[in-house]
Copies of this chain bind each other. A is one copy, B any other.
Amino acid sequence: MRQKRKGRPTNTSRRERISPLTVARLSLYLRHLEELAAQGQSMVSSRQLGDALGLTDVQVRKDLASFGQFGRPGVGYEVNGLVRRLREIFGTERVWDVAVVGVGSIGRALLAFKGLVKKGFHVAAAFDKDPRKIGKRVSGVLVRPMTELAVTVRRKGIRLAVLAVPASAAQEAAEDLCQAGIKGILNFSPVRLNLPDHVAVVPVDLAAKLQQLNYFIGPPKSRQG
């Protein structure tokens, strides 16, 4: 449990060779390559990829080489081929069902986010404790009671969940998700979850992101002198 960094999932046993930072860069490469493919570009060099993403060409080649030799020296990478290979690496050559737990403002935003399907994810079920929300449809998805979590997750074979409940309810809801068989949780609740090692957790803390941004901007000019 030691030496973990923020954003590092709990479960890295299967794939611990590759650092979370490398995996984060791979998703940047994939996003940019998808844009290039949409524009009809067929080849790209490590230099062009690096320039577009603020990385060195050495870093790009090193990251991609961890997963096999895709590029050809002096020629570069075939865009569509690399998109396919990166989707295989992420397992998103197919679409995965996702459960959203907590239909508040964040949960609603995720339910309304149609762009997810192109990235390999489909919100297949939503859950909330609030009787006023249960039974309603939000962006076409039925809101179910938490008591139906386990049976729904099993029936639909869902592996991924988005946890978007208030901090006070997060640990309990996360334990319910584990018991229901969820393997990975994207955690929007501003608490650190205490879960078994076989469940991966990736945190998203929006207030922390704003704090970090504010730090990098520094104090206002009037206070700098």
Query: A residues bordering B, Cβ < 8 Å?
Result: 1-9, 11-12, 14-15, 20-21, 23-28, 30-32, 35, 50, 52-56, 59, 89-92, 96, 98, 104-106, 108-113, 115-116, 119-121, 159-160, 183-186, 190-192, 200, 202, 204-220
Contact = CB atoms under 8 A, between A and B. Distances in A.
B15 A207 contact: no
A8 to B, nearest CB: 8
A122 B71 CA distance: 47
A214 B2 contact: no
A208 B96 contact: no
B212 A11 contact: no
A2 B56 contact: yes
B109 A105 contact: yes
Contact of A218 (B15, B52, B191): B15
- Please state the number of chain copies in the assembly: 2
Output the residue of A92, A119, A120, A204 with the most chain B CB within 10 A.
A119
A192 B5 contact: no
A113 to B, nearest CB: 6
A182 to B, nearest CB: 10
B23 A216 contact: yes
Contact of A208 (B31, B54, B213): B31
Contacts of A56: 2-3
Of all A-B residue pairs in the complex, the 8 with the closest CB atoms, nearest first, are: A105-B112, A119-B207, A4-B54, A27-B208, A109-B109, A105-B109, A184-B213, A9-B216
Contact of A115 (B54, B92, B116, B207): B207
Nearest to A201: B213
A6 B20 CA distance: 11
B108 A30 contact: no
Given A15-B215, A204-B204, A209-B186, A105 B113 contact: yes
